[in-house]
Chain A
Amino acid sequence: EVRLVESGGGLVQPGGSLRLSCVASGFLFSSYTLHWVRQAPGKGLEYVSGINSDGANTSYAKSVKGRFSISRDNSKDMLSLQMGSLRAEDMAVYYCARAFYYDSTGYFYDTWGQGTLVTVSS
């Protein structure tokens, strides 16, 4: 079974840091681009960050650029998101998602984790 399992969420004070992890199973992890997507309370889905299969290329939403860092360890089938300088507006459920490319440009998210909740509050 193809699976993604997030962990690391919790309560953090504004300005604080948190590291999220996503462990994969059931597929060849090193072959896939992975993204983080979040959903703030009462809001829609928002792309956060992405990393290609070998980790050489990363991208970030403008809202988190310079504060968040995405990485992966293909030897451990693990994706990470290091979050710093956290703000109230970063409070959300964070999902890791596998990007499946069907051509050189087009992809879709075919596998998602169950999400991990990050609460930013003093």
Chain B
Amino acid sequence: DIQMTQSPSSLSASVGDRVTITCRASQSISNYLNWYQHKPGKAPRLLIFAASRLQSGVPSRFSGRGSGTDFTLTISSLQPEDFATFYCQQSYSTPLFGGGTKVEIK
């Protein structure tokens, strides 16, 4: 079975910081990797699909890169509304989410 490892599990950052989250698959998943933002009490929100394609309506400060086994989500300038938990999810085989990265205010 494919395993998804996300790092870090949490981070503290300030408004305006550049933040990068990493997701690693235990075997190649091509570019079948999505990123979601999840806030407490809300439904998850799709940010990036197919590793690097920005979902309609998502601010351009969010970007994704990678293929094969290594992927990153970058927020170029962290905004107050971005504090949340972020998950990667592979759609290459049985759906699987990474463990999540909680982005907190420093």
Contacts and interface: CB of A to CB of B under 8 A. Distances in A.
Interface of A: 35, 37, 44-47, 50, 59, 61, 95, 102, 105-110, 112-115
Interface string B1-42: 000000000000000000000000000000110101010001
A112 B97 contact: no
B59 interface: no
B25 to A, nearest CB: 14
Interface residues of B, number: 24
Given A44-B99, A47-B95, A113 B43 contact: yes
Majority SS of interface residues in chain B?
loop
Point out which of B91, B94, B98 has the most chain A C-beta atoms below 10 A from its C-beta. B91
A109 B90 CA distance: 11
B43 to A, nearest CB: 4
7 contacts: A45-B100, A50-B95, A61-B94, A102-B50, A106-B31, A106-B91, A109-B46
A105 B98 CA distance: 19
B98 A106 contact: no
Contact of A114 (B36, B43, B50): B43
Contact of A105 (B85, B92, B99): B92
B69 to A, nearest CB: 16
Given A45-B87, A45-B100, A108 B46 contact: yes
B74 interface: no
Given A44-B99, A106-B32, A59 B46 contact: no
B96 interface: yes
Given A47-B97, A110-B46, 6 more contacts: A44-B85, A44-B98, A45-B36, A45-B97, A50-B95, A108-B34
A95 B87 contact: no
B91 A108 contact: yes
Nearest to A47: B95
Contact of A102 (B49, B92, B96): B49
Contacts of B38: 45
Point out which of A35, A44, A95, A115 has the most chain B C-beta atoms below 10 A from its C-beta. A44
